[in-house]
Amino acid sequence: MKIRPSAVYRNLFFIMGTFIVFYTVYHVLAYDGGSHDEVHRRQKHLYLTVSKDRIGHRFEKLAPKRILMWTTVFGEAKSVDLSDCKGFSDRCIVTSNKSLVSVADAVVFHAQDIPNAPLPEADLRRPHQRYVFLSMETPANSGRHAVPLNFFNWTATYLLSSDVIFKYGPFYLSAKEAELKGFKFVDFHIDESALVKKKSGIFGLVSNCKTLSKRELALKELSRYINVTIGGKCAMNKYDVDLCPVGKSCSELYGQYPFYLAVENSVCKDYITEKYWDRTSIPSIPIVMRRKIYESSNMPPHSFIAMDDYSSPREMAEHLLRLESDKKAYAEYFAWRKGSWTVAPWNAPGYRNGFCRLCERLWEEDPQSKVRGEYCIMHLSSLISNPFSKFTKLPSAMSHAHFWCCEYRACEVIFLHFDLISTNSNVWPLCIIIRKISNQRIPFWRKEDSFLY
């Protein structure tokens, strides 16, 4: 019997199609090894295309991501615990073994420790890798750095605009939002009996006596009109220096006063530290410096008092004293605690919380080439240790640091002036910090000439 050519082609296509299907299934489902690049190719779009219920099944076929800590953290080789990273506890490995730099998925550089660790050789860098800038400090306190242009892919900072957010505390959610997202409710309720029989005035523990925020000037001005009790190195009298011994929480001491100081040493967008977060359970109202910073971080309304709401220290002190005498008005600052607000999960302190998010980002990210912009890499540091010192001439090693200046626009440290410096035939614009705040009412704790550095 003569076989028609069309039948031959159909059979041939069927055989080829069957082979391709079996080949694909074998390499996708039965894959158990292969090159590092091949593993990364198979991870492409994993987080975005596979539901969280099925992620664990796919993870079984893929090696954990490697996170290399290239630098120490404040001079210490800090361990990173990922055990409480829901869904990702065993999906990343954190190491400080620099010999693994060429196979690491993320290489982390802690800002303050960069000068103490020579950068990796350029030929060891791979296209899929993420070089991560880590800092939980403000730009002015992140040290000085000299790195090549477009060195970092991601930033890991307290800024909500960072690639990986390293918040000092959790995220607040309304009760309705928490219910919609299925989050477990965290109770912030305080017994109203704890709101009465308090001492008068403001309490705080302060160890940095000369700050960029001029916190010390604010307290000095306020103390003329209301009792201000400061413990620690910056105590206003020698008897209060040891009010709270090192290592003690002193929550009860805070709770004895109607108001407590939660003012930061720098005034920067999204910068809210343990000065606020570690004291959310105490029966006292936090005093902060700039309302906008806390409102933009979704803090519960009417839960804090902001200094910049007042035109003078006398006006602010008079309002605080009225609240002390009007118990009903005072109690309204605690109404948000009665079941109307909670926090999002992963409530560990920011350092651990941030590494959970870094692990998650590594699994969801498409490993395409990505670098931060030439002149505006988020949250990078000052060019000089003291941003208010008089500019003379920067060391030649700083010539590549011109793109660290962008984030100063989010801080009250003075406008951006660009200068040029030439080194090794390269000319880069450098950001020198010498501004005064414009288009804002000068706050009562500053004098006009204090802006002119």
- Tokens representing 268 are 């920067």
Rounded to whole angstroms, the maximal C-alpha distance in the chain is 112
Residue 127 within any structural domain of the chain: yes
3-state secondary structure of 429: strand
Q: Report which of 146, 167, 137, 166 is spatially closest to residue 154, judged by C-alpha positions.
A: 166
Residue 453 within any structural domain of the chain: no
Give me the DSSP letters along 139-207: GGGS------TT--SEEEES-TTSSEE--SS--EEEHHHHHHHTPPP------GGGGSS--SSEEEE--
Q: Please check whether residues 146 and 271 belong to one and the same domain.
A: no
What's the CA angle centered on 228, arms 226 and 232, to 5 degrees?
A: 175
Q: Please check whether residues 182 and 328 belong to one and the same domain.
A: yes
Residues 403-427 as b/e (b if ≥16 CB within 10 A, e otherwise) read: bbbbbbebbbbbeeeeeebeeeeee
Q: Is 190 exposed, middle or buried (0-12, 13-18, 19+ CB in 10 A)?
A: middle
Q: Please check whether residues 135 and 2 belong to one and the same domain.
A: no
Q: Please check whether residues 73 and 221 belong to one and the same domain.
A: no
- Tokens representing 231 are 């413990």
Q: Please check whether residues 260 and 113 belong to one and the same domain.
A: no
Q: Report which of 222, 274, 282 is spatially closest to residue 257, judged by C-alpha positions.
A: 282
The answer to whether the beta carbons of residues 401 and 144 sit under 8 Å apart is: yes
Q: Which pLDDT does position 381 carry in this prediction?
A: 34
Q: Please check whether residues 189 and 268 belong to one and the same domain.
A: yes
Q: Please check whether residues 204 and 220 belong to one and the same domain.
A: yes
Q: Report which of 163, 140, 195 is spatially closest to residue 412, judged by C-alpha positions.
A: 140
| Dihedral angle of Cα 211, 214, 220, 222, to the nearest 10 degrees | -130
3-state SS, 191-206, equals: CHHHHCCCCCCEEEEC
Q: Locate tokens 């800090």: which residue?
A: 78
3-state secondary structure of 95: strand
Distance of CA 315 to the CA centre of its chain: 34
3-state secondary structure of 73: strand
Q: Please check whether residues 121 and 246 belong to one and the same domain.
A: no
Q: Which pLDDT does position 405 carry in this prediction?
A: 39
The answer to whether the beta carbons of residues 46 and 58 sit under 8 Å apart is: yes
Q: What is the pLDDT along the chain (453 residues), one digit of tens a residue?
A: 555 656 656 666 666 666 655 554 444 333 333 333 332 332 222 222 233 444 454 555 578 999 999 999 988 887 888 887 777 888 999 999 999 999 999 999 998 898 888 899 989 999 889 999 898 888 767 766 666 666 888 888 888 878 888 888 877 888 787 777 777 777 787 888 888 889 999 999 999 998 878 888 889 999 999 999 999 999 998 889 888 887 777 888 999 999 999 999 888 888 899 899 888 889 999 999 889 889 988 889 999 999 989 988 999 999 999 999 999 999 999 988 887 787 776 544 556 678 988 998 999 865 544 544 333 333 333 333 333 233 333 333 333 333 333 444 455 543 333 333 333 333 333 333 333 333 345 566 654 433 322
- The one-letter amino acid at 453: Y
Residue 413 within any structural domain of the chain: no
Q: Which pLDDT does position 1 carry in this prediction?
A: 54
Q: Please check whether residues 34 and 157 belong to one and the same domain.
A: yes
Q: Which pLDDT does position 72 carry in this prediction?
A: 92
Q: Please check whether residues 11 and 43 belong to one and the same domain.
A: no
Separation between Cα atoms, residue 362 and residue 91, nearest integer Å: 10
Residue 235 within any structural domain of the chain: yes
Write down which residue in 319, 334, 364 finishes a domain. Answer: 364
Q: Which pLDDT does position 9 carry in this prediction?
A: 60
Q: Please check whether residues 114 and 132 belong to one and the same domain.
A: yes
Separation between Cα atoms, residue 259 and residue 274, nearest integer Å: 16
CATH number at residue 232: 3.40.50.11660
Residue 17 within any structural domain of the chain: yes
Contacts of 162 (CB under 8 A, 6+ apart): 154, 155, 156, 378, 379
**Cβ–Cβ contacts within 10 Å for residue 245, how many?**
8
Number of domains the chain is built from: 3
Q: Please check whether residues 200 and 307 belong to one and the same domain.
A: yes
- Name the residue range of residue 180's domain: 172-343
Q: Locate tokens 């704790």: which residue?
A: 445
Residue 426 within any structural domain of the chain: no
Residue 395 within any structural domain of the chain: no
**Cβ–Cβ contacts within 10 Å for residue 91, how many?**
19
Residue 201 within any structural domain of the chain: yes
Contacts of 198 (CB under 8 A, 6+ apart): 256, 257, 258, 324
Q: What is the helix, strand, coil percentage profile of the chain, to 5?
A: 35, 15, 50
